[in-house]
Amino acid sequence: MAAPAGLPAEAAGAECSEEALAAALADVPELARLLETDPYLKPYAPDFQRRYKRFNQTLTDIGENEGGIDRFSRGYESFGVHRCADGGLYCKEWAPGAEGVFLTGDFNDWNPFSYPYKKLDYGKWELYIPPKQNRSVLVPHGSKLKFKHSKPKKPKGLRIYESHVGISSYEGKIASYKHFTCNVLPRIKDLGYNCIQLMAIMEHAYYASFGYQITSFFAASSRYGTPEELKELVDTAHSMGITVLLDVVHSHASKNSEDGLNMFDGTESCYFHYGPRGTHLLWDSRLFAYASWEVLRFLLSNIRWWLEEYGFDGFRFDGVTSMLYHHHGIGENFSGDYHEYFGLQVDEDALTYIMLANHLVHTLYPDSITIAEDVSGMPALCSPISQGGGGFDYRLAMAIPDKWIQLLKEYKDEDWNMGNIVYTLTNRRYLEKCIAYAESHDQALVGDKTLAFWLMDAEMYTNMSVLTPFTPVIDRGIQLHKMIRLITHALGGEGYLNFMGNEFGHPEWLDFPRKGNNESYHYARRQFHLTDDDLLRYKFLNNFDRDMNKLEERCGWLSAPQAHVSEKHEDNKIIAFERASLLFIFNFHPSKSYTDYRVGTTLPGKYKIVLDSDAAEYGGHKRLDHNTEFFSEPFEHNNCPCSLLVYIPNRVALILRNVDLPN
Active-site residues, by number, are 318, 373
* Helical spans, DSSP H, in 463-572: 472-491, 538-555
Contacts of residue 432, Cβ cutoff 8 Å, sequence gap at least 6: 380, 381, 382, 383, 395
Element (H, E) at 234: helix 227-239
CA 177 to chain centroid: 20
Alpha helices in 365-494 (DSSP H): 399-410, 418-426, 441-444, 451-456, 472-491
Separation CA 578–CA 601 (nearest Å):
7
Q: Which long-range contacts (CB under 8 A, 24 or more apart) does 50-55 make?
A: 50/348, 51/348, 51/351, 51/352, 51/355, 51/388, 52/27, 52/28, 52/385, 52/388, 53/27, 54/348, 54/352, 55/352, 55/355, 55/356, 55/359, 55/385
Question: At CA 501, angle to CA 408 and CA 370, rounded to 5?
Answer: 90
**What's CA 148's distance to the chain center, in Å?**
27
Q: Could you give the CA distance from residue 654 to residue 562 in angstroms, rounded to a whole number?
A: 19
Please count the other Cβ atoms lying within 10 Å of the Cβ belonging to residue 333.
Answer: 6
Residue 595's H or E segment, with its range, is: strand 594-601
For residue 42, give Cα distances in angstroms to 1, 45, 136, 338, 376: 18, 5, 65, 11, 20
Which of these, 196, 298, 207, lies nearest to 247 by C-alpha position? 196
